[in-house]
Structure 1
Amino acid sequence: MEAINGNPIVIICGATGSGKTTQVPQMMFENGYGSAISSSPNATSAAAPHSEGMIGVTQPRRVAATSVASRVSHELGSRYGPVVAHQVRYDSVTVGKRTAIKFMTDGILLREIEKDFLLSKYSAIVIDEAHERSVNTDILIGMLSRIVPLRAELALEEPGKHYPLKLVIMSATLRVTDFTENQRLFRDGPPPMVEAEGRQFPVTVHFSRRTQRDYTVETVEKVARGHRKLPPGGMLVFLTSQQEILEVTRKLKERLGGGSTVAFAQAAEPDNQTDDFEDRTGARRDNDYLDAERNDDSDSDIEITGLDPDADDAEFKVDDEPQFSRRESSGALKPHILPLYAALPSAQQLRVFQTPPADHRLIVLATNVAETSLTIPGIRYVFDCGRAKEKHYDIATGVQTFEIDWISKASASQRTGRAGRTGPGHCYRLYSSAVYERYFADHTVPEILRTPLEGAVLQLKAMDIENVVNFPFPTRPDAVQLTHAEKLLSNLGAIAERDGRVTATGKEIMGFPVSPRFGKMLLLAQKRGVLAYAVATVAALAVGELFIPEAHTAGGAKDKDDASNSDYDSDRDVRIARKIADSEAHTAGQQRHQAYTRAQARLSNLDKQSDVVKLLTAVAVYAEAKDLSAASKICSEYYLREKGMSEVQQLRHQLHNIVSARYPAATASFKNVLPKPSKDVVKILGELTAAGFIDQVAIRADLIKDNASSGFGRKPRRAGEVAYRTLVPIVDEIDRTLAPQEQEMQRSVFVHPSSTLAKLGVSAMPDYVIYSHLSRAAPATIDDSEKVPRTRMHPLTTVSAKQLALLAEGTPLLEIGKPIGKIEDLGTSRQCWVSLNFRGAGWPLPPCKVLQRKSNRGDWEIEKVIAR
């Protein structure tokens, strides 16, 4: 605490489980920081003379902010607990002027900086879990590195009116060189580093001798054996996705039987189609990590257990500490299996913090949302698969891939620390020490280096930071990223093309708490009189992943081998049972497919070529629910993700309030139910969407002049095989050593199978498509193979060439050609028809008749468009 009081900026590092998240805000409160009422028990003016304002604590995730706030409130007791508040998106618990400690997500604090750059309501800011390095966290740290000295200067100039601001950056596994060696970030020298005490309880780490390719099978085996042999204590199992959690839950239930599991809705995971790959060699290669294990040093200082039963059983011989002792043997425990992932409804997420039923062992199956800041009571054993599913973004092409890859050593340390929060623990790593040393990076790549930055760039420019490249980022993004972001903002009209300053349009877009693309849609919607529909559409697009893929709807189906576990006595009975099970499964599968197809058809009824209208229909259908039970039934009937749809409704309401405040004449009172839109409204929504994604347009490859469309060797037989080309090429250079079909595959994009367009015939496929993003299928495991993946586009709406020309008017995307035909000379001006095309791509667009005037430079400029 002395280091915090004595320095304006402090970095606190330390081992996981040191309790920094809860202890540091409490210590600061007890030493006088907090609200102006100075109600802390041990506060003295000498301890913290400039304590006016709240202590703000940021967390990268909502569930962490709410759970930590609850814990701190409980630990402060009945007298001071009520001064703790939290604020996250869609959920806020405040205590007004009495708030002394406020937990929030980093995005909430960024919004407050936009309104009050000095953060006058705060006496201290604590940035927790800084090692996660989200874009918001990095921007916050850069902003605060300037706000802290500014507040100090103002406090000297106007004491009593302004007070210094304290900044505390906390992390267990922070790459400190990004901060200590960054002279641009901290101009007065690096802040002092404080080492927090290590975890309160020791954790024993157990590596596997061999890393299995199918880690989900190994996870089931390890957890099942551990449940039967380990002393009492909760288990936290790290997996990569919700789909894996579903699979492991089912298999654990089969293996362990009895116990209890919590039913939960399925969410849409990135759907990587197996047919999106074309095998280049026809052979699969061994993983490199197997070679690492063959060369593993048998004299490793970490005891490694083998895969044989005797060796595996040895690692489960754990002393039963007194605090975990009980009257019954561990074998009598029943499993209490709970999921934990980001898409899970909040009420179900909170179940992991509740005491399991008597005589049950808590087994939490989680993604990396449980990696930091969450203390699940009673967790004694961690099972770490060592992988995570991450979104990778190609800066140059905009292609996204969801890939399962190794986590970093820092993340592995965080996961291990989850076992030592409430008592001595054990971490079972389902990978070898050789793989850990060779393939695990020390730290995770910061998000700011692998994500689009247009929102962040506009946010910074709106704060009068004109030259974003000079902003004190903890890790400076690539110049290409910033260039792409500014180019997009220029295409949207948010910044001026010449000087990069925020335009009046950009300032209006900034008023909406959504991405610049969506802000542009809302801005145009109020001019076209379709705000209510646009708000619902933007809310759906912003939340995303609302539909459950058909492949994820068979959760209740049984495996064919289930019949072999029955009590039948003869082989004949077993064969008959299997036939019956196969027939029933086939019939059930057909019924599910038919129900799914009917639901998608109903949602696509308004416009069979528009995915964005399908989204709007889903929002409208859900909005008709009168209570939670009805909402759940609708989600089940239409295969919608329940938590996502709930968030859409909340964001709808939030955006409506913001829009109403800004455009009171254009908005009516909020209504849950959306009336059926007319054909004109549907058309306008398509144009608004195209305006927001004007640079993300694709044209049928066979429409491009001189295109070698025969490179695939055959004509497409279905919609998903029709090739398109994007405005920005998806590859910098074609590999000429590949076969012609593979070269075409490299440069082309295809409609995603989940799109409404995928149901059309080949001849009905539109000439132009506006898409939300591109994705490229990635292997489901690290066991890679030599395949050429297809790049899929996720369509939003279709547009005509004439609409494109109109929407691109006034943007750098539109290139004006030479006059066509007769020119009508009007002296200092002229009327003529001019050719149009997309700049750089050369796609022809319908010509238009314009009025041109000579500029001061002597060239002709368009003053007015007369006809199209």
Structure 2
Amino acid sequence: MSVLKTCRELSGGGFSESGINKAFAEEFQKKYSCNLAANATAAAKLDVGLAELYSDEADPELDAELLTECYHKVDDEKFMELQQYRRTLPAFDFAMELTDVLNSNQVVVICGETGSGKTTQVCQYVLDDAILHGRGSTCRILCTQPRRISAISVAERVAEERGENIGLSVGYSIRLESRLPSRKAGTITFVTTGVVFQYLKEDPDLTRVSMIIVDEVHERDILTDFMLAILKDLISRRSDLKVVLMSATLNAERFSRYFNTCKIFNIPGQLHAVQRFYLEDVLTLTGFTFERKKPLFTPTNKPKKVIEFENIVYPWLNELEKLDKYPASTLHQLKMPESEDLNLELIQVLIEYICDEDVDDNGAILVFLPGWDEISRLTKELEKNARFGSSDFIIIPLHSSVPSASQRKIFNKPPQGQRKIIISTNIAETSITINDVVHVIDTGRIKMNNFDVKINLETLDDEWTSKASSTQRKGRAGRVREGFCYHLFTHARLNALEDSKKPEILRKRLEEVILQIKMLKLGGALEFLTKLMDAPSIKAVELGIQRLINLKALDNQESLTALGFHLAQLPMDPQTGKMILLGAIFSCIDPILSIAASLTHRDIFHRPMGQESDVDKVREKFSNGTNSDHMATVYAILGYEKARKIYNDGRYCYQNFLSQSNLRQIMSLKRQFASYLFRMKYLSSADYKDLDCNRNSENVGVVLAVAAAGLYPNIAEVNMIGKKQPRPVLRTFEDGVVSVHKRSVNSRQLDIAFYPYFVYFMKMKARTIYLFDTSMTMPLPLILFGESLNWVKTRGHSPKTVIGTHTGKFRFGCRDAESFKILCALKMKLNEFWDHKINSPGPTDWTSNSKEGLLLNTITGLFSEEYEQARKIISQAELIRLKALENSENDDWSD
């Protein structure tokens, strides 16, 4: 059937508002109208995954059961052994005093050093105190953790210490997994911060909770700061709710002030003494000298970095000279700006010094570096070294991209005479504790993701760490014996560091937070965000709001739309959320969920040192000529699923540089996302492999079109520059020339892209602006899913179809006015259909006699035809390129 005929048949009524799903309209009204003043009775009817709505009234029968159980445990030998261990923790000496403070104050900040036992013990002291005083049935403790692994491991440890299996009185709930307490009260539940927001959506006053313990508040992640603002409002209405904030660093006063100068309770740590050395000491001990670089500036045009160095270090050096504490050679080295560069040679010399001085002990050495590139370079240098490359040393790189199996090696104690050297990012600062570390080398540097509101761009910056982080790094040593920390920066630089790192709320895009504010009906985004401990800039909030308006998640009055309501329920960024909604509607859910899960989790490929180019070749192989990182992911996951069916998944992952643990998480995410879509009524089955949900899953043209629609308006265009030897460059309207990241399959294929348009998931500014996760896209998806269309006649050329975006315009050739009218009609019908499906959720009706089936069969046919035409031309271009390379290799270049 022709496109024109399709549009004519659809013109009689289209997709009217009268078809809006009544059940959805009621649910939207009910949930969108909920606010923090909603009563507990209404909340009781809503399912949020907890066992049931608990009563605030005491249950004498349960109180007696809990107390009897408590007395019987003393006859358990293993239980009593664990109690002996608990008594050795510093927190134990303060247990009675602490419970008195918690009972007499609504909000308390607990400041405890690493190893004090605050995470595992405070919740138990509270529950035990309630049980022994006959009110265990009113105690329901919620403990938040910033990371999934922490929530599980701490819950399991606490259950073990209480002499019971997980899931009785102690449980956990994280994304994809939960083991909730079976008891209705007398419970401790560990959750990730995101789960708390799921509870808040359905039970805005947290009526099911008697105490909420927020652990690791010093990390200042975006969700924790958001939650603290909600809790601050909530305690004014719920005088019975106890809030406990637990921090490992010295910024407890800030949290106390935020909660109206609430009580601070300090628990000392159990660390052995750690001796600290700074750069002036390290240079004196090792005799290391820096290589002076030839300056690229004159005294009158010094770079900002050099001016800052001189202002900070020179006055301190003048004072240091008067003390006559360090040799002149050291002071001379410290005057050089190069002394603040990251110097891997200095680290290697320092490791040699440590090993020479500490010959009788094999205590582990932990080196903090800013990122993977530096970790990779130092690891290779040490492995090439005759001494460190021997069997006397185990060199272990530690980074979030390293497979979990490799990470576990860091916890294994090596045999006598062998020493571990762990080279890590700040992941080892708080997330991981390695008990046998004796020596820490702190470079004072960190790679920080930021959001620059001036250029509306995420950046990856190499920055100085904070005083708090420096203290945390020092604390990694001295857990088993006296430790040593070598800071590769001067005391002067230490004094100039920020007290703590910048909160995440000031470094991130705010779209997801704004959606949650709207979902919880907390008022205007800007108004609410000013209540946070550190309020983001007005510009950052305005950019977030505008982005959501452009996405149609908010209307111009900043109210949540039906699309915004759907997106707020999905645990991912709004663009990826829109992509999976389209994947459900266009019946290609399996590949789209693979793409979405990989974008919200981690790269499924891992890059062993020295094999990076091999990994890139495998990724390119998986892309199967599609010019798409997203399709490379889809095909790699399909291969994994097939290998798993014949129990060959381990071998498959090893051969293809795939992370098996990441792939398992991807599969779990796909199941979770499909479950969400099924509950939202967009899928007819919760099984993402169901045939009815995957009519177009093998149609690459449709899958890429849906991916492009979700990622829109993240578009870049290939331009050819240079007259004599033209070469392709990539541009975006906002940034000008950009680069595809080297890991992308498209980093070397711009010259054979038939259509000069690429969509991307993320762009980030480092040395240049990089695009991540890119796919070549055809014109039709951009035309149909983009903004307004115009038809422009150009002198001497064919007329153009022009798509106007929020930042610029894309132009495509258009044969005639009739073709343009057909495109406009098709676009209008697709928009009507999209509005209808958002307001009236339900699986797509693909029958040929339905309006939905008529429209979507026509559009998917066009997507498929356009893609196949492009593939033929690209294949021809690739053959020409390969032939040219073959000829050039056979050319005789000799005279």
- 1:602 paired residue number: 621
- 2:207 paired residue number: 120
Compared CA separation, residues 75 and 365, structure 1 to 2 (3 A): farther
SS at match of 2:643: coil
2:623 is the alignment partner of 1:623: no
Question: Is the Cα contact below 8 Å between 2:167 and 2:179 reproduced in 1?
Answer: no
What is the TM-score with the length of structure 2 in the denominator? 0.66
Alignment of 1:752-791 (within 5 A): 752-760=741-749, 762=751, 764=753, 766-778=755-767, 790-791=768-769
Whichever residue aligns with residue 201 of structure 1, its letter is H
Residues in 1 aligned to 2:278 and 2:364: alpha-carbon distance in whole angstroms: 20
Compared CA separation, residues 477 and 834, structure 1 to 2 (3 A): same
For 1:759-812, what per-residue CA distance to the aligned partner results, in whole angstroms no more than 9, with x for missing partners?
Answer: 43637453332221223333xxxxxxxxxxx32323533344443232125xxx
Compared CA separation, residues 443 and 171, structure 1 to 2 (3 A): same
Q: For 1:7, which of 73, 81, 105 is the aligned residue?
A: 105
2:531 is the alignment partner of 1:444: no
Q: For 1:838, which of 781, 805, 811 is the aligned residue?
A: 805
For 1:839-860, what per-residue CA distance to the aligned partner results, in whole angstroms no more than 9, with x for missing partners?
Answer: 4524456754779xxxxxxxxx
- 1:213 paired residue number: 341
For 1:338-378, what per-residue CA distance to the aligned partner results, in whole angstroms no more than 9, with x for missing partners?
Answer: 44432334454444444444554454433212212644333
Whichever residue aligns with residue 631 of structure 1, its letter is D
Whichever residue aligns with residue 617 of structure 1, its letter is Y
Alignment of 1:20-59 (within 5 A): 20-32=118-130, 38=131, 43-45=132-134, 52-59=138-145
Residues in 1 aligned to 2:159 and 2:499: alpha-carbon distance in whole angstroms: 35
For 1:12-65, what per-residue CA distance to the aligned partner results, in whole angstroms no more than 9, with x for missing partners?
Answer: 235555443333223223322xxxxx4xxxx314xxx58734322222233433
Q: For 2:590, which of 532, 536, 552 is the aligned residue?
A: 532
2:482 is the alignment partner of 1:424: yes
Shift of 1:130: 1.1
Residues in 1 aligned to 2:747 and 2:365: alpha-carbon distance in whole angstroms: 43
Question: Is the Cα contact below 8 Å between 2:144 and 2:214 reproduced in 1?
Answer: yes
Question: Is the Cα contact below 8 Å between 1:402 and 1:777 reproduced in 2?
Answer: yes
Shift of 1:134: 0.8
Whichever residue aligns with residue 442 of structure 2, its letter is D
Shift of 1:105: 2.4
Question: Is the Cα contact below 8 Å between 1:55 and 1:122 reproduced in 2?
Answer: yes
- 2:429 paired residue number: 371
2:784 is the alignment partner of 1:806: yes
Whichever residue aligns with residue 487 of structure 1, its letter is Q
Compared CA separation, residues 647 and 673, structure 1 to 2 (3 A): farther
Alignment of 1:114-513 (within 5 A): 114-152=201-239, 164-173=240-249, 175=251, 178-180=254-256, 182=258, 186=259, 189-209=260-280, 210=283, 211=339, 213-230=341-358, 231=361, 233-252=363-382, 254-256=385-387, 334-357=392-415, 360-372=418-430, 374-438=432-496, 440-471=497-528, 472-496=531-555, 498-513=556-571
Shift of 1:613: 1.6
Shift of 1:513: 1.6
SS at match of 2:758: strand
Residues in 2 aligned to 1:686 and 1:235: alpha-carbon distance in whole angstroms: 48
Whichever residue aligns with residue 265 of structure 2, its letter is V
- 2:731 paired residue number: 724
Compared CA separation, residues 546 and 146, structure 1 to 2 (3 A): same
Question: Is the Cα contact below 8 Å between 1:751 and 1:792 reproduced in 2?
Answer: yes
Whichever residue aligns with residue 599 of structure 1, its letter is V
Shift of 1:447: 1.0
Shift of 1:467: 0.3
Q: For 1:685, which of 687, 690, 703 is the aligned residue?
A: 703
Question: Is the Cα contact below 8 Å between 1:838 and 1:844 reproduced in 2?
Answer: no
For 1:456-495, what per-residue CA distance to the aligned partner results, in whole angstroms no more than 9, with x for missing partners?
Answer: 1111111112301122222111122222212222222222
Question: Is the Cα contact below 8 Å between 2:582 and 2:710 reproduced in 1?
Answer: no
Residues in 2 aligned to 1:753 and 1:238: alpha-carbon distance in whole angstroms: 25
Compared CA separation, residues 630 and 240, structure 1 to 2 (3 A): farther
- 2:330 paired residue number: none
Question: Is the Cα contact below 8 Å between 2:362 and 2:419 reproduced in 1?
Answer: yes
- 1:825 paired residue number: none
Whichever residue aligns with residue 491 of structure 2, its letter is S
Compared CA separation, residues 80 and 93, structure 1 to 2 (3 A): closer
Structure 1 gap segments, 5+ residues each: 33-37, 153-163, 261-333, 556-591, 703-709, 731-746, 779-789, 821-832, 852-864
SS at match of 1:634: helix
SS at match of 1:666: coil
Question: Is the Cα contact below 8 Å between 1:488 and 1:695 reproduced in 2?
Answer: no
Question: Is the Cα contact below 8 Å between 1:752 and 1:758 reproduced in 2?
Answer: yes
Compared CA separation, residues 835 and 408, structure 1 to 2 (3 A): closer
Residues in 2 aligned to 1:640 and 1:692: alpha-carbon distance in whole angstroms: 26
SS at match of 1:624: helix
Whichever residue aligns with residue 445 of structure 1, its letter is K
SS at match of 2:261: coil
Residues in 2 aligned to 1:44 and 1:724: alpha-carbon distance in whole angstroms: 68
- 1:859 paired residue number: none
Shift of 1:176: 5.0
For 1:228-275, what per-residue CA distance to the aligned partner results, in whole angstroms no more than 9, with x for missing partners?
Answer: 432454443323334444444454454545887xxxxxxxxxxxxxxx
Residues in 2 aligned to 1:375 and 1:835: alpha-carbon distance in whole angstroms: 57
SS at match of 1:151: coil
2:740 is the alignment partner of 1:751: yes
Question: Is the Cα contact below 8 Å between 1:815 and 1:838 reproduced in 2?
Answer: no
Whichever residue aligns with residue 23 of structure 1, its letter is Q
Question: Is the Cα contact below 8 Å between 2:212 and 2:242 reproduced in 1?
Answer: yes
SS at match of 1:418: coil
Shift of 1:697: 1.7
SS at match of 1:169: strand
For 1:300-340, what per-residue CA distance to the aligned partner results, in whole angstroms no more than 9, with x for missing partners?
Answer: xxxxxxxxxxxxxxxxxxxxxxxxxxxxxxxxxx5455444
Question: Is the Cα contact below 8 Å between 1:608 and 1:757 reproduced in 2?
Answer: no
Residues in 1 aligned to 2:803 and 2:388: alpha-carbon distance in whole angstroms: 68
- 1:155 paired residue number: none
What is the TM-score with the length of structure 1 in the denominator? 0.68
Question: Is the Cα contact below 8 Å between 2:403 and 2:606 reproduced in 1?
Answer: no
Residues in 1 aligned to 2:756 and 2:347: alpha-carbon distance in whole angstroms: 48
